[in-house]
Amino acid sequence: MLTGHHRNIHFHASPLTPAIRAGLLKQSGLTIWLTGLSASGKSTIAVALEQALIRKPYTKNAYRLDGDNIRFGLNKDLGFTPKDREENIRRIAEVAKLFADSCTIAITSFISPYRADRDMARALHEAPRPGGESGVPFVEVWIDVPVEVAEQRDPKGLYKKAREGKIPEFTGISAPYEEPLKPEVHIKSAETSVEEAVKIIIKYLEEKGYLSTPPAVDDEE
Amino acid sequence: MLTGHHRNIHFHASPLTPAIRAGLLKQSGLTIWLTGLSASGKSTIAVALEQALIRKPYTKNAYRLDGDNIRFGLNKDLGFTPKDREENIRRIAEVAKLFADSCTIAITSFISPYRADRDMARALHEAPRPGGESGVPFVEVWIDVPVEVAEQRDPKGLYKKAREGKIPEFTGISAPYEEPLKPEVHIKSAETSVEEAVKIIIKYLEEKGYLSTPPAVDDEE
């Protein structure tokens, strides 16, 4: 037996455009791309940012993509050769774009040391969508810390191992970090608390209108 | 200047567990995995299902992963060798699981002809999450159509090309489709309208409680 609910399911011949989707879900999607050295504070800031966006007063769906859920899942077939690193970032960018397209706020937290890779991620997001609608916003957030400070923090002992030559091509020690030239947000994490960093990012999002409720699109008539 | 909003951002030391996330977003995540022959109606049903779930009375975030947004994006580096086909499904399963973990309803629409691949996708979803919480539901939906009917429909002319030998290893013609042994939902699409198919799937989801609003978890005190 079908219940009343089932009889009220709405079937639409017209496609679910990004604007209709955003209006129904009361949320627009975007990607917040954190970049910075190991031990710069990216993950800590990403965790706090996700919490702040999901809780009141925002109650937006936000979801982190980070080493824990990507390197051991989607990208577990990839190593650390230059080719694999590039493919790692490419896939992360593609998945973040899917989340943003679904109206979720994707928060990525990866060193992503190369400008070309970050620019590729941006271009993917900003390209028009298949239906011709404009792409999704890409917010590059540079978590900037002097390498000396990161090396002193070294919570996982990675810098020590890199200095001992046990980790080849370690960003900041034996491999370059290409600083963002025009990040949307620049946070100097040695002199900014996690809470302040989150406030700075959210302030940017609010100013751009990314956290406002999208208007309902009336296609029911 | 920070506005009042910023001063009210909630910072939490405790992690955002799946239950807290679901309570805040008023939605649980799961993956609806459609499987069936080319021209079985998977994509049409997926489109209608996504619309029905996003619109009233459900207003749940649902998102389709299909050939259009995966084969030309995340998996554009993959071809159609057996190894690439397996990797194609593996990545789709990993991404669907991320969406489900984020509290979105992922709807995948791929032929996925091999039992081993679908079982792998199921195992990925049902495995406990890193924090020890139980995995996410995996709903296998077999869109079952006689190959003769699919071949007669042949909207893209693929069966014709396969018969002419222009497409090697075409599922149902020159490559096997391994029928699901215990799908959660079995839809015979030759004798079921798209609307009825969507109603059948939603009825199953409702009976399992997957569409009910998860309780708020009070961790604010």
Q: What is the pLDDT of residues B140-199, one digit of tens each?
A: 999 999 999 999 999 999 999 999 999 988 999 999 999 999 999 999 999 999 999 999
Q: What integer is the mean pLDDT of A199-208?
A: 98
pLDDT at residue B15 in the model: 84
Residues 6+ apart with CB under 8 A from B14: B219
B175: DSSP letter: B
Is there a contact between A199 and B6 if contact means CB atoms under 8 Å apart? yes
pLDDT at residue B82 in the model: 85
Q: B3, B6, B109: which to substitute to probe chain A, counting the most A Cβ within 10 Å?
A: B6
Q: Which two tokens stand for residue B147?
A: 């190959």
Question: In this complex, is the C-beta atom of B13 within 8 Å of any C-beta atom belonging to chain A?
Answer: no
A210: DSSP letter: T
Query: Which residue has better confidence, A13 or B220?
Result: A13
Q: What integer is the mean pLDDT of A154-176?
A: 93
Instruction: List all residues of chain A from 146 to 185 with a beta carbon under 8 Å from chain B.
Output: none
d(CA A62, CA B189): 36
Provide the residue count of chain B: 221
Mean pLDDT by 10 residues, chain B (221 residues): 51 83 96 97 96 94 93 92 92 98 98 96 95 93 97 95 93 95 97 97 98 84 39
Adjacency order of strands within the sheet including B105-109: B62-66, B105-109, B30-35, B138-144, B185-188
pLDDT at residue B221 in the model: 39
Is there a contact between B9 and A199 if contact means CB atoms under 8 Å apart? yes
Is there a contact between B21 and A206 if contact means CB atoms under 8 Å apart? no
| Alpha helices per DSSP H over A38-81 | 42-54, 67-69
The residue behind tokens 């824990």 is A68
d(CA A174, CA A165): 9
Q: Which residue in the set B3, B54, B98 is minimally distant from A25, CB to CB?
A: B54
The alpha-carbon radius of gyration of chain B (Å, integer) is: 20
- pLDDT at A7 > cutoff 60: no
pLDDT at residue A13 in the model: 67
Q: What integer is the mean pLDDT of A129-148?
A: 94
Residue in chain B lying closest to A216 (CA): B55
Catalytic positions of B are 112
pLDDT band at A221 (very low <50, low <70, confident <90, very high): very low
Chain mean pLDDT for chain A: 92
- Domains in chain A, please, with CATH? 18-207 (3.40.50.300)
- A47: chain B residues, CB-CB within 8 Å: 15-16
A117-148 exposure pattern, b = at least 16 Cβ within 10 A, e = fewer: bbeebbebbeeeeeeeeebbbbbbbbbbbebe
For residue B68, the one-letter residue type is D
Q: What integer is the mean pLDDT of A140-167?
A: 96
- pLDDT-above-70 percentage for chain A: 94
pLDDT at residue B8 in the model: 64
| Alpha helices per DSSP H over chain A | 4-7, 18-25, 42-54, 67-69, 82-101, 115-126, 147-153, 158-163, 194-207
- How many CB pairs below 8 A link A and B? 132
Cross-strand pairs, A142 = A35, A186
Distance of CA A53 to the CA centre of its chain: 13
Query: Interface pTM (ipTM) of the complex?
Result: 0.94
For residue A99, the one-letter residue type is F
Instruction: List all residues of chain A from 88 to 147 with a beta carbon under 8 Å from chain B.
Output: 91, 94-95, 97-99, 101-104, 124, 130
Minimal CA–CA distance to A63: which of A16, A27, A89, A21?
A: A27
Backbone angles phi, psi at B220, to 5 degrees: -90, -10
Is there a contact between A199 and B48 if contact means CB atoms under 8 Å apart? no
Q: B5, B9, B49: which to substitute to probe chain A, counting the most A Cβ within 10 Å?
A: B9
Please write the tens of the pLDDT for every residue from A15-62.
Answer: 889 999 999 999 999 999 999 999 999 999 999 999 999 999 999 999
Residues 6+ apart with CB under 8 A from A170: A38, A158, A159, A161, A162
| Alpha helices per DSSP H over chain B | 4-7, 18-25, 42-54, 67-69, 82-101, 115-126, 147-153, 158-163, 194-207
Q: Which two tokens stand for residue B145?
A: 């159509």
